[in-house]
Structure 1
Amino acid sequence: MTVEEHGFAPGTDVLIRKVDSHLAAVRASLRGPELELAERLAGCLRELVVSTAQASAADRGQVRAAVHYFVLRRESRGNLLSVRSLAAAQRVVNKVAVQLGRPDLLVETRRDRPARGPAVPAGDVALR
């Protein structure tokens, strides 16, 4: 696959490969909510990379910085991505998504998400 085949700006495929390589590496050490968060961050970053391929240099630079932050951010021993560094990467990625006008790409943790569905079954609601 070459850059020209997809019409992406130079470097787009490199950034996506960095994200994918890092995600593959952390899959061996993360489980549960942490792995889910890392996967959602990677998905958001991929989308930002693709959607800014033809954007201004400043916008592409923000996305590139977020990718590098996600890929290089390590606050635990060895090459393992810690929960704390995932949270820091989440803040960076979300900030870039908002700055680029893509609030639809915000990455939330499970505790940030609103509960789905009614809290009380519809038949149990008393009308006054």
Structure 2
Amino acid sequence: MTAEDRAGESGVDVLIRKIDTHLAVVRLGLHGPELELAERLARSLRELVSQTAQASAADRAQVRAAVHYFVLRRESRGRLLSVRSLAAAQRLANRVALHLGRPDLLVEAQREQAAPRP
């Protein structure tokens, strides 16, 4: 294993650890659809991090920026993570996924299901 391989792997580990740590904190404050969105976003970001471990520096930088945007703690009215900042992180992660040709990793907001029509 070369020094570059070790650096790439440790970078992947660091980013995934940041995602997981932030998600653990978010689980304490969010519930329902917001928590589900955060969990889907974390899954998508983990996959993007793993998939770009050997990608170009520019692609890795975009993924790293999306991860950092997700894990930044933005306070809103005493809450750790505002729904608005979560939606902004979702938009950025989706842009990165599309740029990298991974539409399968898009994170969609779950809409409330309408009652079935008779």
Please give the range of the TM-score, normalised by the shorter of the 2 chains: 0.7 to 0.9
Large movers: runs of 4+ above 6 Å:
none
Alignment match, 2:55: 55
In structure 1, the residue matched to 2:101 is: 101
Aligned to 2:45: 45
Q: Does structure 1 residue 9 correspond to structure 2 residue 4? A: no
Q: Secondary structure at the match of 2:53?
A: coil
Where structure 1 has 5 or more consecutive residues not aligned to the other structure, the ranges are 1-5, 122-128
Report the CA distance between 1:21 and its aligned residue: 0.2
Distance 1:103 1:73 in 2: 27
User: Secondary structure of 1:38's partner?
Assistant: helix
Find the counterpart in structure 2 of residue 28 from structure 1: 28
Q: CA deviation at 1:9?
A: 3.1
Give the structure with the larger helix fraction.
Answer: 2
Partner of 2:3: none
1:107 counterpart SS class: coil
Per the normalisation by structure 1, the TM-score is 0.78
Gaps of 5+ in 2: 1-5
Residues 112 and 90 of structure 1: is their aligned pair in 2 closer, same or farther, counting only changes over 3 Å? farther
Task: Tell me which structure has the larger Cα radius of gyration.
Answer: 1
Query: Contact 2:29/2:79 (CA < 8 Å) preserved in 1?
Result: no
Q: Matched residue of 1:49: which SS?
A: helix
Give the aligned partner of residue 124 of structure 1: none
Specify which structure has the bigger relative contact order, considering alpha-carbon pairs within 8 angstroms and separated by 6 or more residues: 2
> Per the alignment, in what secondary structure is the counterpart of residue 9 of structure 1?
helix
TM-score w.r.t. length of structure 2: 0.85
Q: Match of 1:50, as an amino acid?
A: S
Matching residue of 2:76: 76
- In 2, Cα distance between the equivalents of 1:10 and 1:67? 15
In 1, the alpha carbon distance for the partners of 2:68 and 2:117 equals 44
Counterpart Cα distance in 1 of 2:70 and 2:26: 11
Deviation at residue 110 of structure 1 after TM alignment? 1.1
Percent pairwise identity? 75
Aligned residues: 112
1:89 alignment counterpart: 89
